[in-house]
């Protein structure tokens, strides 16, 4: 049985930004702007499950019950495309830490090739927001989740913009209890393992073509 809890954000402001991202006519700067807006909405929704603590907040005229996050999450983008979600995450959660995972899909095998890992050694007890706009075959996020659970992470929320059903199914098979917050679950992948209808190559649409020797 799957341990995964899935939230698909169905809000008119979110779906309008998603449409901008999907639209092939949106250029790099328009794509970055729409991803930044949508990222804030995704983080807002994902943060609903975070624990808050109360304290006395002194107002100019009295004392109110104040709240703050008890244990702010660490934001972990999968580079490159996940970088587009870091600024909106930090603007919503200024106390968050940031870790980095660099992965690039091999265009022939569609398997992720790791090139960077910059994470704390111990992630036990700390909420992790793993952010990547795209969940396609699931290979990249499964690899990233394994890196996190190897460090003791036991509270992982995966945040994506577009998820493909095969990738969702693959993450649902993991033993780790994962939460998924996304704006769309698209039906499938084409022969190049791109999500259909998807939005194309998220990294290229944010930053232009990459050239890494894999
Ligand atoms: C994209 C995307 C995900 C991955 C999803 O990155 O940002 O990390 O593909 O595909 P998967 O679910 O089949 O693994 P890509 O490897 O193209 O690198 P980039 O972000 O540097 O362009
Ligand atoms: N990575 C992307 O950026 N887009 C896809 O459709 C699949 C993987």
pLDDT-based confidence at 132, cuts 50/70/90?
very high
Predicted confidence (pLDDT) per residue in 42-100, tens digit: 999 999 999 999 999 999 999 999 999 999 999 999 999 999 999 999 999 999 999 99
Q: Has this prediction a pTM greater than 0.75?
A: yes
Ramachandran category for residue 133: left, alpha or beta (phi over 0 → left; psi -120 to 50 → alpha): alpha
Answer for the pair 11, 177: CB distance below 8 angstroms, yes or no: no
Centre of ligand 1 to C-alpha 49, Å, is 27
41 marked among binding-site residues: no
160 closest CA partner among 1, 3, 9: 9
Q: What is the mean pLDDT of the chain?
A: 96
Measured from the CA of 139, which atom of ligand 1 is nearest? 14
Q: What does R_g of the chain's alpha carbons equal in angstroms?
A: 18
Q: How many CB atoms lie within 10 A of CB 155?
A: 20
Range scoring the smallest mean pLDDT among 13-22, 101-110, 191-200, 204-213: 204-213
Q: Are strands 100-105 and 74-79 parallel, antiparallel or unpaired?
A: parallel
Centre of ligand 1 to C-alpha 109, Å, is 13
Domain boundaries, the chain: 5-49+72-207
134 closest CA partner among 87, 178, 200: 200
Tokens 């995450």 appear where? 89
pLDDT-based confidence at 213, cuts 50/70/90?
low
- Asked if residue 80 has a cis previous peptide bond (ω within 30° of 0), the answer is yes
In the CATH scheme, what is the code of domain 5-49+72-207? Answer: 3.40.50.2020
Centre of ligand 2 to C-alpha 177, Å, is 24
Residue 3, pLDDT > 90, answer: no
Q: How far apart are CA 82 and CA 54, in angstroms?
A: 32
Is 194's C-beta closer than 6 angstroms to any atom of ligand 2?
Answer: yes
Q: How far apart are CA 144 and CA 126, in angstroms?
A: 16
Look at ligand 1, atom 6, and give the residue with the nearest C-alpha: 104
């Amino acid at each position: 049985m799957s341990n995964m809890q899935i939230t698909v954000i169905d809000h008119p402001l979110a779906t309008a930004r998603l449409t901008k991202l999907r639209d092939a006519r949106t250029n790099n700067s328009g794509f970055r702007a729409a991803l930044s807006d949508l990222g804030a909405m995704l983080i807002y929704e994902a943060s609903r499950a975070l624990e808050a603590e109360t304290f006395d907040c002194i107002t100019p005229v009295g004392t109110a019950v104040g709240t703050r996050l008890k244990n702010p999450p660490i934001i972990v983008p999968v580079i490159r495309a996940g970088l587009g979600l870091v600024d909106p995450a930090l603007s919503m959660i200024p106390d968050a830490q940031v870790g980095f995972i660099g992965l690039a899909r091999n265009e022939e095998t569609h398997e992720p090739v790791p090139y960077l890992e910059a994470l704390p050694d111990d992630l036990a007890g700390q909420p992790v927001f793993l952010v990547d706009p795209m969940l396609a075959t699931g290979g990249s996020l499964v690899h990233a989740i394994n890196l996190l659970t190897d460090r003791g992470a036991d509270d992982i929320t995966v945040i994506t913009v577009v998820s493909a059903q095969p990738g969702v199914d693959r993450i649902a098979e993991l033993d780790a209890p994962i939460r998924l917050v996304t704006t769309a679950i698209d039906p499938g992948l084409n022969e190049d393992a791109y999500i259909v209808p998807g939005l194309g190559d998220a990294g290229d649409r944010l930053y232009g073509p990459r050239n890494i020797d894999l």
